């Protein structure tokens, strides 16, 4: 049914089966077969939300049967991809490591596992390890794109990145793989200054998102369109598209992409002359990158923040001003955490810093300060 584009009917069948699986109505072998098949089906049609729900429902089963999952090599890789997307990078790296160890004798599956390991090394800024893993993945039969092109771009070798991504765009045809290539292509083509090609790639990605309706593709398409608008000198349009992408990435949720979008929004605000807004967005992006361990992204955003020399009210950071506004609106720590997509522990740390910097002793005093200094 899924291959015939009968998505609703196909997933209705799989949902019914997964209920029985989650209830423990069958043995471990059948559970493993169905779970891995369902993950693969979700992957093929971009239904990452359903894949995440099933993975969460079966997390206890996976922990109790560590030797059952790997009999389908792609299953470990898919789990690692999901964990990475949702911000659990340490767990994703462990799954990728296990996949590389257990699939070393399987040609295609080993390549997929090595590529996923390389992707995690790249976003964490471990470029030497990423390059070696991409090469091993290539030797095992997995084309190393678009990851290797993104690695070259991050290393500053823009010409190599440009040549690699154009080759990948020419060769990649299947919808899922092409969506990944297009998303990477926009970033790389903008780095080379080829605005027209970047706009074309973003347009194709948007068309693919419209055809599938997949949440993750809609988020990626908005992200790409916003980046193109910013590069084209249209910061207001960029903010509009990027805000939509931010909401969609939060819905996924995809913390790394959320932080990347907020960094672009910060740059757009800076282009509009809104220095305070730029500081807030860049500060939020830096916090997101720091929590994930995205070292190179954090360094880039920190460099942008250093250019914003004007000090916010009371010496607060942009994020602290944002938290202060939420306090003044009467929101609890939990509500602030949800609104700003951060942990309650982080909210508590920001509030402590606010009270110390402003010499305040209560939330009511913080609210009064916000009103007095027209921060609302």
Distances (CA, A) of 353 to 20, 120, 340, 356: 49, 33, 17, 5
Domain topology for 319-376: Arc Repressor Mutant, subunit A (1.10.10)
Q: Distance between CA 262 and CA 342 in Å, rounded?
A: 13
- Taking the chain (376 residues) in consecutive chunks of 10 residues, what is each chunk's mean pLDDT? 88 90 86 85 87 80 69 76 94 90 71 95 96 96 96 95 97 93 97 96 97 93 97 96 97 95 96 89 94 94 73 72 91 90 87 92 92 81
Q: Contact at 8 Å (CB) between 217 and 205?
A: yes
Q: Contact at 8 Å (CB) between 120 and 84?
A: yes
Q: Distance between CA 180 and CA 253 in Å, rounded?
A: 17
Q: Distance between CA 241 and CA 114 in Å, rounded?
A: 34
Give the start-to-end residue ranges of the domains of the chain. 1-71, 319-376
Rg (CA), the chain: 22
Q: Distance between CA 27 and CA 72 in Å, rounded?
A: 16
Model pLDDT, residue 35: 85
3-state secondary structure the chain: CCCCCCHHHHHHHHHHHHHHHHCCCCCHHHHHHHHHHHHHHHHHCCCHHHHHHHHHHCHHHHHHCCCCHHHCHHHHHHHHHHHHHCCCHHHHHHHHHHHHHHCCCCHHHHHHHHHHHHHHHHHHCCHHHHHHHHHHHHHCCCCCCCHHHHHHHHCCCHHHHHHHHHHHHHHCCCHHHHHHHHHHHHHHHHHHCCHHHHHHHHHHHHHHHHHHCCHHHHHHHHHHHHHHHHHCCCHHHHHHHHHHHHHHHHHCCCHHHHHHHHHHHHHHHHHHCCHHHHHHHHHHHHHHHHHHCCHHHHHHHHHHHHHCCCCCHHHCCHHHHHHHHHHHCCCCHHHHHHHHCCCHHHHHHHHHHHHHHHCCCCHHHHHHHHHHCCCC
Model pLDDT, residue 122: 97
Nearest of 191, 138, 192, 200 to residue 169 by alpha carbon: 200
- CB neighbours of residue 348 within 10 Å: 14
Nearest of 306, 318, 301, 304 to residue 353 by alpha carbon: 318
Residues constituting the chain: 376
Q: Is the peptide bond before 253 cis (omega within 30 degrees of 0)?
A: yes
């Amino acid at each position: 049914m899924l291959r015939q584009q009968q998505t609703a009917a196909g997933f209705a069948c799989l949902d019914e089966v997964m209920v029985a699986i989650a209830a423990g109505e069958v043995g471990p072998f059948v559970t493993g077969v169905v779970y891995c098949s369902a993950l693969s089906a979700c992957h093929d049609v971009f239904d990452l939300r359903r894949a995440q729900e099933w993975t969460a429902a079966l997390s206890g089963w996976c922990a109790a049967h560590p030797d059952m999952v790997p009999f389908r090599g792609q299953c470990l890789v898919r789990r690692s991809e999901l964990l990475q997307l949702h911000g659990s990078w340490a767990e994703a790296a462990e799954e990728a490591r296990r996949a590389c160890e257990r699939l070393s004798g399987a040609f295609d599956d080993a390549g997929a596992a090595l590529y996923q390991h390389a992707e995690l090394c790249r976003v964490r800024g471990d470029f030497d390890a990423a390059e070696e893993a991409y090469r091993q993945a290539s030797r095992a039969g997995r084309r190393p794109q678009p990851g290797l092109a993104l690695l070259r771009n991050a290393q500053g070798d823009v010409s190599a990145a440009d040549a690699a991504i154009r080759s990948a765009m020419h060769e990649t045809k299947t919808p899922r793989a092409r969506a990944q290539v297009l998303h990477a292509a926009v970033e790389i083509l903008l780095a080379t200054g080829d605005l027209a090609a970047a706009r074309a790639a973003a347009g194709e990605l948007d068309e693919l998102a419209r055809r599938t309706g997949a949440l993750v593709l809609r988020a990626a398409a908005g992200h790409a369109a916003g980046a193109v608008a910013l590069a084209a000198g249209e910061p207001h349009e960029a903010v509009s598209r990027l805000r939509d992408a931010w909401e969609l990435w939060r819905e996924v949720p995809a913390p790394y992409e959320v932080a990347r979008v907020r960094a672009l929004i910060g740059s757009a605000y800076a282009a509009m002359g809104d220095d305070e807004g730029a500081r807030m967005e860049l500060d939020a992006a830096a916090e997101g990158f720091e929590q994930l361990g995205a070292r190179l992204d954090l360094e880039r955003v920190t460099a942008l923040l250093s250019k914003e020399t004007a000090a916010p009210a009371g010496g607060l950071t942009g994020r602290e001003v944002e938290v202060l506004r939420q306090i003044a609106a009467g929101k609890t720590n939990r509500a602030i955490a949800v609104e700003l997509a951060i942990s309650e522990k982080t909210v508590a740390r920001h509030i402590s810093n606010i009270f110390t910097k402003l010499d305040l002793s209560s939330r009511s005093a913080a609210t009064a300060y916000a009103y007095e200094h027209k921060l609302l």
